[in-house]
Amino acid sequence: GDVAQRASTGSLPGWDDVEALVVEAWQRNRGVDDGVVADYIPILAEADPAAFGLAVVEVDGSTHDAGDVDVAFSIQSISKAFVYALACEELGHEVVLERVGVDNTGLAFNSVMAIELAAGHPRNPMVNAGAIATTALVPGDVDEQWRFIVDGLSRFAGRPLEVDQVVYESEAATNQRNRAIARLLESYGRIAGDPLDAVDVYTRQCALLVTAHDLAVMGATLADGGVNPVTGERVVAPEVCRDTLAVLAATGMYERSGEWLFEIGLPGKSGVAGGIVAISPGKAGIGAYSPRLDPAGNSVRGQRAAAYLSRALGLNLF
Ligand code: DON
C-alpha cells in the first residue's frame, strides 16, 4: 500500500495515533470485496460478506475498536494456536515438538498428501492433522479435554466462550475429511486415544464463538508473555508464548505463511469463518473479522488491515 513504513520500536506510537490508525485501516478496507465466503462447512456460507471488524488491544490493556468488533463468529482454525499454547503449557516443549512438529507443509490446511509425504507425521499444529493430534494430546477423557480447552480459551479471551451449536452440528455432519485425516494419523501410530473422539473435540473447539475484539485480547495475551492484559490473569508461561509465536510465524497462514511474514512481519493465525489474529510481541494483539477469504482460506480484508497496521504502527519484527 501507500502507507509509509515506520521502523519497529519498543512501544506503540501513543494512544491518539493508534486509535486513528485503527479507524483508518478499517475505512481503507471496508469497500474491498475480493474473496469468497467459505461454504465447505455449509452454515458458514450464511455469513454476511459485508461484516468487517478490526480491534487492537495493547499489552497495557488499552483498546481500539473499529466497525463490527462485537459480531460473533466461529473461531475455527484460530483455536489451533491457543489449544497449542495450552498443550505446550501442560506437556512441555519437547513432547509437542516430537508429536506434532513445527514445519510448514507448503500445502493446504486440510491436505492428506502432506501427511503421506511426511510418512504419517502431521508436521505442524496449525494444519488440521496437527491440530487434531494436538487436541488428542490434552490429558483426560473427552469431557476433561473439552473442559480444559474451553476454560483455557476463555482465559485467553477474558470471558466465558460458548459453542455455536449450529456451526458445530453443520461441521460434524460434513467433516468426513477430518475423520479420514485422524484415521490416517492413527494408521501411522501418530494420534493418542480414539481418533474420532479427537475430531469431535476439535470440531467443538472450532465452533467456539468469538468477536474481533476477543481475538485482539487473545492475541494481546500472547504478546504480553502469557498474561491477559485485561483481566491480569496469567494464562500460560512466557516460554510457551515464544514457542507458539514461532510456530505461528512459520505456519499460521498455511502455504501463504512466507508471503504473510514478508509483507506483515508478525506471527498470525486465520480461520475460515473470517477471523485473523496477529501478534506484535511486547506490544499488542490485532483481531480482525471479515468473512471473504483468499484461496488459502485467509480473510482478504483482515490481511489488508493487518498489513496497514503493521506498516503504520511500525510492528514488522524484521
Ligand atoms: O477443520 C476445519 O476444516 C475447520 N474447522 C477449520 C479450518 C480453518 O479454519 C482453516 N482456516 N483458515
Q: Three-state SS string across 227-268, please?
A: ECCCCCCECCCHHHHHHHHHHHHHHCCHHHHHHHHHHCCCCE
Question: Grid coordinates standing for 197?
Answer: 473422539
Topology agreement, domain 15-76+208-312 and domain 78-206: yes
| Any atom of ligand 1 within 6 Å of the Cβ of 126 | no
pLDDT exceeds 60 at position 315: yes
Q: How far apart are CA 112 and CA 120, in angstroms?
A: 10
77 an active-site residue? yes
pLDDT exceeds 60 at position 141: yes
- The answer to whether the annotation marks 171 as part of a ligand binding site is yes
Smallest CA separation from ligand 1 atom 4, residue: 76
Are 96 and 236 in contact by the 8 Å Cβ rule? The answer is no
Tell me the best of 75, 77, 177, 201 to mutate to test the pocket of ligand 1, counting ligand atoms within 8 Å of each CB and taking the most.
Answer: 77
Q: pLDDT digit string (tens) for 260-285?
A: 999 999 999 999 999 999 999 999 99
| Nearest atom, ligand 1, residue 77 CA | 9
Q: pLDDT digit string (tens) for 68-96?
A: 999 999 999 999 999 999 999 999 999 99
Q: How far apart are CA 153 and CA 161, in angstroms?
A: 7
The structure's pTM equals 0.96
202 an active-site residue? yes
Give the pLDDT confidence score for residue 242 in this predicted structure.
96
pLDDT exceeds 90 at position 2: no
Find the catalytic residue in 18, 71, 77, 236: 77
pLDDT exceeds 60 at position 1: no
Instruction: Using the mean position of ligand 1's atoms as its centre, give its distance from the Cα of residue 300 in Å.
Output: 16
Q: Where are the domains of the chain?
A: 15-76+208-312, 78-206
Q: pLDDT digit string (tens) for 212-247?
A: 999 999 999 999 999 999 999 999 999 999 999 999
- Any idea which architecture 15-76+208-312 has in CATH? 3-Layer(aba) Sandwich (3.40)
Are 101 and 154 in contact by the 8 Å Cβ rule? The answer is no
Q: What is 78-206's CATH number, 3.20.20.80, 2.10.10.90, 3.30.9.10, 3.40.710.10? A: 3.40.710.10
